């Protein structure tokens, strides 16, 4: 099973200089290739392939003003072109918007494949680096395992991270059990289970909102290009990073607990990208990070031999009585509790929804019913109509 461990490392001044130059070259090659592909389409109605951009990269390295491209490893530059090709593939398939130009203040990433690094004696050596990277090994890679790729990332706050990807032969499924649970995702309570358990939503963004507002206001008052603006930007990036770290930590602990306790987990196939278009709930939905929660459940179920079932997002889980099956015509969001007009059962809206989700998921697993696809023809047509940015 393929896994990736993320570590923080503290490069020496020489290593940091080389890595920053590498990130800058990757960004330059990516932006130039994106500009060439965009101009080719607007001027000549031609599509430029990955092979053509790779040929252009060879020519750029021979130019005198771009001679510094030869000072860094060529592998991250080629990987940048492959990532651009993947971005265009997703765009033409209607899964993403048109690729954007990379900016320096966003930090950047550089991917190294097997030919550009060496892993020996639990030490990692990157191409062009004489000394191993001083990585803080929070957890060890299984002995005898060789990484397949390494990705170096610089966060806007100035923090360095490295992601090591490998195949883990030691990963074993958890002991099976007979417990199944349905999960309804919410805002006041992040997770509501069919066992009538409610897990509160920490609301990480709301806790730090006043601090973020103060730092953002301080940044807007600084003169562009000044050193004080750079300092204010770093402070703001660190505040955002703290929120991201606490949110991920909570989601990992929550999903791991659900995986360990349950053999079958049933969730709704939510369209989070469409839900955040609601201006009044967009911030709360983004802070809850439902998409990340479901993503973690998916790969952890694969790791540990659990079953994850997704039901149709249009299934009336909230307005359907879990006791007799009676379905109401409408149910506004402000109604949190209701009584079934047919059987008289009193329902908590979220707990009733989680019970219905579990019942529908078990029916899906038995009958083999399919889940509605995430994308439709209308969505793909809308994506194809998007215009590239010049």
Task: Indicate which residue of 65, 111, 350, 374 is catalytic.
Answer: 350
178 among known catalytic residues: no
Residue 337 pLDDT exceeds 70: yes
Task: Indicate which residue of 14, 16, 46, 184 is catalytic.
Answer: 184
184 among known catalytic residues: yes
Instruction: Write out pLDDT tens, residues 103-124.
Output: 999 999 999 999 999 999 889 9
Tokens standing for 291?
């998409």
Q: Which of 155, 157, 154, 153 is nearest to 236 (CA)?
A: 157
pTM, two decimal places = 0.86
Q: What is the pLDDT of residue 388?
A: 53
350 among known catalytic residues: yes
Structure-token match 């033409």, residue found? 92
- Burial class of residue 380 (count of CB atoms within 10 Å of its CB; 0-12, 13-18, 19+): middle
**For residue 341, what are the CA distances in angstroms to 151, 324, 351, 355?**
58, 10, 18, 18
Instruction: Write out pLDDT tens, residues 38-87.
Output: 999 999 889 999 999 999 999 999 999 999 999 999 999 999 999 999 99
Give me the DSSP letters along 150-212: EEEEE-TTS-EEEEEEEE-TT--PPPP---EEEEEE-SSEEEEETTS-EEE---HHHHTHHHH
Q: What is the pLDDT of residue 368?
A: 61
Percent of the chain at pLDDT > 90 equals 75
Question: In the structure, what pLDDT confidence band is assigned to residue 369 with cuts at 50, 70 and 90?
Answer: low
Structure-token match 């923080």, residue found? 8
- Burial class of residue 224 (count of CB atoms within 10 Å of its CB; 0-12, 13-18, 19+): exposed
Task: Indicate which residue of 36, 268, 269, 292 is catalytic.
Answer: 268
Give the pLDDT mean for 324-337: 89
Instruction: Write out pLDDT tens, residues 138-196.
Output: 999 988 899 999 999 999 999 999 999 999 988 899 999 999 999 999 999 999 999 99
């Amino acid at each position: 099973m393929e896994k990736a461990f993320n570590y923080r490392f503290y490069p020496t001044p020489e290593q940091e200089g080389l890595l920053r130059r590498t990130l800058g070259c990757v960004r330059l090659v990516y932006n130039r290739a994106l500009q060439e592909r965009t101009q080719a389409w607007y001027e000549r109605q031609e599509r430029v392939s990955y092979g053509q951009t790779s040929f252009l990269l060879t020519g750029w390295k021979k130019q005198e003003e771009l001679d510094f491209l030869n000072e860094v490893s060529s592998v991250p530059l080629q990987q940048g072109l492959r990532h651009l090709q993947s971005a265009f593939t997703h765009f033409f398939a209607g899964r993403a918007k048109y690729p954007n130009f990379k900016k320096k203040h966003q930090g950047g990433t550089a991917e190294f494949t097997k030919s550009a690094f060496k892993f020996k004696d639990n030490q990692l050596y990157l191409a062009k680096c004489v000394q191993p990277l001083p990585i803080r090994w929070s957890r060890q890679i299984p002995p005898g395992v060789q990484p397949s790729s390494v990705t170096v990332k610089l966060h806007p706050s100035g923090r360095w991270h490295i992601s090591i990807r490998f195949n883990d032969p030691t990963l074993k499924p958890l002991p099976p059990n007979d417990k199944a649970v349905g999960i309804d995702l919410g805002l006041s309570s992040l997770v509501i289970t069919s066992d009538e358990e409610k897990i509160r939503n920490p609301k990480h963004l709301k806790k730090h909102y006043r601090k973020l507002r103060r730092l953002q206001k301080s940044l807007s008052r600084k003169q562009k290009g000044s050193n004080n603006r750079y300092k204010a930007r770093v402070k703001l990036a660190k505040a955002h990073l703290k929120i991201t770290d606490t949110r991920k930590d909570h989601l990992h602990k929550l999903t791991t607990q659900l995986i360990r306790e349950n053999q079958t987990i049933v969730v709704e196939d939510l369209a989070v990208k469409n839900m955040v278009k609601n201006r009044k709930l967009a911030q709360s939905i983004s802070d809850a990070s439902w998409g990340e929660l479901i993503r973690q459940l998916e790969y952890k179920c694969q790791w540990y031999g659990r079953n994850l079932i997704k039901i149709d997002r249009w299934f009336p889980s909230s307005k359907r009585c879990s006791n007799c099956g009676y379905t109401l015509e409408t149910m506004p969001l402000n109604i949190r509790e209701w009584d079934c007009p047919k059987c008289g059962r009193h329902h908590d809206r979220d707990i009733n929804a989680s019970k219905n989700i579990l019942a529908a998921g078990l029916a899906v697993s038995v009958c083999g019913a399919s889940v509605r696809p995430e994308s439709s023809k209308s969505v793909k047509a809308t994506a194809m109509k998007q215009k590239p940015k010049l």
